[in-house]
Chain A
Amino acid sequence: MKVKLISAPYLVWMAVFIVVPLIMVGYFAFTDGNGHFTLEYIADVAQYTNIFIKSIWLAAIATVICLVVAYPVAFILTRLETKVQGTMLMIVMLPMWMNFLLRTYAWMTLLGNNGLINRLFELVGIGPFKMLNTEGAVVLGMVYNYLPFMILPLYSVMVKIHKSILEAAADLGCNSRETLFRVVLPLSLPGVNSGIIMVFVPAISTFIISRMLGGGGNLLIGDLIEMQFLGNSYNPNLGAGISLVLMVIILLIMTIMNQFNDDDDKVLL
């Protein structure tokens, strides 16, 4: 029908600006500077296995922390009065609207050896701790920046759990803890699912957080890629190779995550 044609401009756009660039990444990854096919760059990516492992590891830790912290927050929010819920949600989400860089920069100033936190420690008498430029700082940065992305999906799923279900569970003899684990938890899994994806993917590929809070000695995948294109080691082929491997890893993770998701609406693979 003619209606389909109306989406034609977008389809063209999509092909040119989504599909073709990805093909370009593949092209650059598998060719050398002169256009000849080579596996050299892809093979070189193996040198950085430990960076991949580190990125996945740190992102996983950050995701778990986010989940643990955000779950109670989302749950508590849903149990508030309806009037207050909207406002409280807004208050919790507000930091997310602040510029990402500024928020990360704020932690840089707080965690420094002469920063506010260490000064407070000094007042109490405990020596200054090295907090900035460590892996811990990077994880902290990830948690701080991506926490709202975990709270939101959890909240939107939990808010749909009708109060009567919880009351029914209580009627059937569950105490609070059992209700939480046997009723709320399973029902909120789709939210957990989205939350994990929304935190893990940006966390694994960030370069700003690791650069600003990691001190340049804690390279992550994002830093590596950035270095190959706009940084100190110009090598677009290697950069494309690393990007390709990153995409494949994420593809795998998402497929696994979607196993747990029976939602009809989910059209992602």
Chain B
Amino acid sequence: MKKLFAVIAALMIIGGIFCSCKNTSENAPEADAEEEIEYQTLSVDDEEYYSKFKDKGISINVYNWGEYISDGADEGTLDVNAEFTKLTGITVNYSTYATNEELYAKLKGGGSSYDIIIPSDYMISRMIKENMLKPLDFKNIPNFKYIKDTFVNPLYDQKNEYSVPYMWGTVGIIYDKTLIDENDIDWNILWNEDYADRILMFDNPRDAFAIAEIMLGYSINTENPEELEKAAEKLKEQKKVVQAYVMDEIFDKMGAGEALIAPYYAGDAITLMDEYEDLAFAVPKSGTNLFVDAMCIPSGSKQKEAAEMYINFMCEPDIAYATTTYVGYSTPNTAAYDMLDDEIKNDGISYPDDEYLKENTTVFYNLSDEANQKMQDLWTDMKSSQYEAKNVWLVPAFMLICVAVSIVILIRRHIKNKKDIF
């Protein structure tokens, strides 16, 4: 009988809700741990500052890149968000985005109020220009003192009012070293037909265009429409050897051996190399992009002080250390850097010396609105190939024709029905 079914369904629902309510995130290390695991601990200087909001039932919405925070999934690592909640009593609602443009779209659409976002350099300068960020009150972020001075007052936030650096790194190429020789690695290998269908490519306009622009000898911050178009042409040429346009999906595809080469960020390369011995990372000699991702508070935030507390927490040496070891990217936090093993400091990828950075890398800055629009249009076109619209009236005419045909058909049917009755 339907009633019994409804009862059973109701029980299952209640069971489901109950089960999901009961779970708390546990971080207890297993009894028989391997020798390599180090258990990270947390100690903060100023516990009193953090207890300001305890028991007030406050929550903040954090919007970050995917795989960009230590979440305790590996043995012995900290679950940063859980630790924050334990320390301060503030709940963290954590969600992720895959590209800066997605973040921008979500914020611009309005209606979502995030308290912490972590955009990249050029996106920060764009958001500052469009008044999308709140200026920070650095009195609430004393741990800012740990940030390395080369990252203070950066190009994208010259008076350093809106952001606190979180992670940085360089872009390079991850490849399967058993099949590809390191000396062959330069940007043009991504166009190489020998590896057709084994090549992955960035799924966001700026990173993709930057590679094409470096290959063509243009600045990665060019606003020249002709240069942008030539770069788009180059990307179109590449399309036939590209297996897929991806962002974080490369973890899966490179790991499973689906693809052999992919351009990506140094930090993720380190994570991949840790897990899969066959992979290696190299920065092409012709130059690359240096990026910095920094924490900001969007103008729609309703919990500014709690957000600033979160930022301060992320700058705690222990937390910054946990973040950099888990995520793999380079930290701008001097205290955390000091805690790192020499092995990491000298691996040649994570912490190139300042001179090397100055000579071989360029930082993005925000382009003009027209250049941005042009790039976005070219990007959509490249991914879909276009043909020029000859006439403004083409589409409206097409639509009118569709509607007219529908109406005609309806009228004919109506007349036919009327006739049938007789």
Determine whether A and B are in direct contact in the complex, meaning some CB atoms lie less than 8 angstroms apart.
yes
With A48-B386, A227-B380: A232-B409 Cβ-Cβ less than 8 Å: no
Point out the residues of chain B lying under 8 angstroms from A235, CB to CB. Answer: 376
The answer to whether B245 and A217 have CB atoms under 8 Å apart is: yes
Which residue on A lies nearest to B106, using beta carbons? A230
The answer to whether A50 and B385 have CB atoms under 8 Å apart is: yes
| CB 8 Å contact bits of B378-398 with A (1 = contact, 0 = none) | 011101111111011111101
| CB 8 Å contact bits of A216-257 with B (1 = contact, 0 = none) | 110100001001011111111000010011001101100110
- Chain B nearest CB from A268 CB (Å) reads 11
Interface of A is mostly: helix
Interface residues of B in 373-422 (CB under 8 A from A): 376-377, 379-381, 383-389, 391-396, 398-399, 402-403, 405-406, 409-410, 413
Point out the residues of chain A lying under 8 angstroms from B205, CB to CB. Answer: 232-233
Interface of B is mostly: helix
A164 CB-CB contact with B under 8 Å: no
B389: contacting residue among A47, A132, A224, CB under 8 A: A47
Q: How far is the CA of A43 from the CA of B395 in the complex (A)?
A: 6
- Chain A nearest CB from B285 CB (Å) reads 28
- Chain A nearest CB from B132 CB (Å) reads 12
The answer to whether A47 and B105 have CB atoms under 8 Å apart is: no
Q: How far is the CA of A179 from the CA of B334 in the complex (A)?
A: 82
- Chain B nearest CB from A88 CB (Å) reads 20
B109 CB-CB contact with A under 8 Å: yes
The answer to whether B258 and A113 have CB atoms under 8 Å apart is: yes
- Chain A nearest CB from B251 CB (Å) reads 14
B402: contacting residue among A44, A112, A113, A252, CB under 8 A: A252
Interface residues of A in 184-230 (CB under 8 A from B): 215-217, 219, 224, 227, 229-230
A133 CB-CB contact with B under 8 Å: yes
A60 CB-CB contact with B under 8 Å: no
Point out the residues of chain A lying under 8 angstroms from B257, CB to CB. Answer: 113-114
Q: How far is the CA of A188 from the CA of B54 in the complex (A)?
A: 67
B203: contacting residue among A113, A132, A232, A248, CB under 8 A: A232
- Chain B nearest CB from A133 CB (Å) reads 5
Q: How far is the CA of A130 from the CA of B291 in the complex (A)?
A: 34
A42 CB-CB contact with B under 8 Å: yes
Which residue on A lies nearest to B97, using beta carbons? A230
Point out the residues of chain A lying under 8 angstroms from B409, CB to CB. Answer: 255-256, 259
B7 CB-CB contact with A under 8 Å: no
The answer to whether A251 and B403 have CB atoms under 8 Å apart is: yes
B246 CB-CB contact with A under 8 Å: yes
B363 CB-CB contact with A under 8 Å: no
The answer to whether A255 and B386 have CB atoms under 8 Å apart is: no
Which residue on A lies nearest to B201, using beta carbons? A216
Of the candidate stretches B77-85, B153-161, B236-244, B342-350, the one touching chain A is: B236-244
Which residue on A lies nearest to B408, using beta carbons? A255
Which residue on B lies nearest to A130, using beta carbons? B197
B146 CB-CB contact with A under 8 Å: no
The answer to whether A47 and B388 have CB atoms under 8 Å apart is: yes
- Chain B nearest CB from A51 CB (Å) reads 5
B108 CB-CB contact with A under 8 Å: yes
The answer to whether B245 and A47 have CB atoms under 8 Å apart is: no
The answer to whether A269 and B410 have CB atoms under 8 Å apart is: yes
A233: contacting residue among B239, B380, B413, CB under 8 A: B380
- Chain B nearest CB from A168 CB (Å) reads 27
Interface residues of B in 79-130 (CB under 8 A from A): 99, 101-102, 104-106, 108-109
12 contacts between A and B (CB under 8 A): A43-B389, A113-B197, A133-B244, A215-B245, A216-B245, A230-B106, A230-B109, A232-B376, A241-B395, A251-B406, A259-B409, A269-B406
Beyond A47-B386, A233-B380, 20 extra complex contacts between A and B, CB < 8 Å: A39-B393, A42-B395, A43-B391, A45-B395, A47-B381, A48-B384, A112-B258, A132-B244, A216-B383, A224-B384, A229-B109, A234-B104, A234-B376, A235-B376, A236-B109, A241-B395, A248-B403, A252-B403, A255-B405, A258-B413
Q: Which 8 A-B pairs have the closest CB atoms?
A: A216-B245, A215-B244, A46-B389, A234-B105, A232-B101, A43-B392, A255-B406, A233-B376
**B residues at A contact (CB < 8 Å):** 99, 101-102, 104-106, 108-109, 197-198, 203-205, 239, 242-246, 253, 256-258, 376-377, 379-381, 383-389, 391-396, 398-399, 402-403, 405-406, 409-410, 413
